[in-house]
Chains A and B, each alone.
Chain A
Amino acid sequence: MSSSPRPRIVEVRERVLKQNDVLARELRARFRESGLRVVSLVSSPGSGKTMLLEKTLTALKRDCRVAALVGDLATENDALRLERSGAPVKQITTGTICHLDASMVSSSLAEWSLPDLDILFIENVGNLVCPSSYDLGEDLRVVLLSTTEGEDKPLKYPTIFNSADVAVITKIDLAQAVEFDHETAHRNIQQVRPGIRVVELSAKTGVGMDAWLEIARHG
């Protein structure tokens, strides 16, 4: 007579996204070996990632070998826009996936010779939630907040702001029209990520672009 045996408990202690983390670490090592600096951009849809990137590629291309990977659920519109800068650009169409991960970045880079590049920009899928969990092997993660989105975005989406190294407030040319409160925005950003560097700019008018370009180049 045997009763149903009790379940055995086994210790696992394994990070769920370990596979991504391992791949991201390999990517980071490859980037370092190639002397390639990698800057990723995250934000909600419509906060100005593509516009900022287009202006950034155009400005840096004068004395720097730059390239961009751009993620979207569908369409190649962003890649077509960025190609106007003359820099090499590759679109990653994720289908239904709401974020880029390290394996997508790795396979998209297969055709490029990394030592022939100085700075690679990665524009993540427009989403303030999911990209925060996935390390892409980047040196610098930049979160964008546009003046039109409201000052409380950092409080609503603390995880993504917390995972970033730099915060950029975009569309500063519209600040007055939408009654953007600079002080509150800065306070909210610092509240969720104390000490983070913050830059205000308008990619359209060029205000603040120099400070941003310096960060993009040297961190």
Chain B
Amino acid sequence: MHELSIAVSIVEIAEEELARHGGERVCAIHLQVGALAGVAKEALDFSFRLACEGTAVEGSELIVEETPGINLEILRMEIHP
């Protein structure tokens, strides 16, 4: 399963964005997942929990918005000040 490497990339991007915008921790990540992106939601949820551990993203919610096509994109994040 490649969901773990995808989850690690999501956490990396979230940490970069958190550093850029300032804030204490990430509360939620809104992710757009295309039906043809080749990502299984359950596997991604599981991998995301693992990838978050010990980071400022730990405990955040991964909110998936399904869409047609191949897109796999972080749309926005909710940051705790």
Q: Which of A5-24 contact B (CB under 8 A)?
A: 5, 7-19
Q: Does A130 contact B (CB under 8 A)?
A: yes
- State how many angstroms separate the Cβ of A165 from the closest Cβ of chain B: 15
Contact assessment for A8 and B72 in the assembled complex, using a CB-CB cutoff below 8 Å = no
A104 CB → nearest B CB, Å: 12
Instruction: With both chains docked as a complex, state the minimum distance between the C-beta of B46 and any C-beta of chain A, in angstroms.
Output: 15
Q: How far in angstroms is the closest Cβ of chain B from A191?
A: 14
Contacts of B74 in A (CB 8 A): 12-16
Q: What is the size category of the interface that chain B forms with chain A?
A: 20 to 34
Chain B residues with CB under 8 A of A159: 36-38, 70
Question: For this complex, into which size category does the number of interface residues on chain A fall?
Answer: 20 to 34
CB <8 Å contact, A9 and B1 = no
| A-to-B contact residues, CB < 8 Å | 5, 7-19, 97-99, 101, 129-130, 132-134, 158-160, 162-163
Q: Which 3 A-B pairs have the closest CB atoms?
A: A130-B2, A7-B78, A159-B38
Q: Determine the distance from Cα of A134 to Cα of B9 in the docked complex, in whole angstroms.
A: 13
Point out the residues of chain B lying under 8 angstroms from A10, CB to CB: 17, 21, 76-79
Q: Is the CB of A8 within 8 A of B9?
A: no
Q: Is the CB of B21 within 8 A of A8?
A: yes
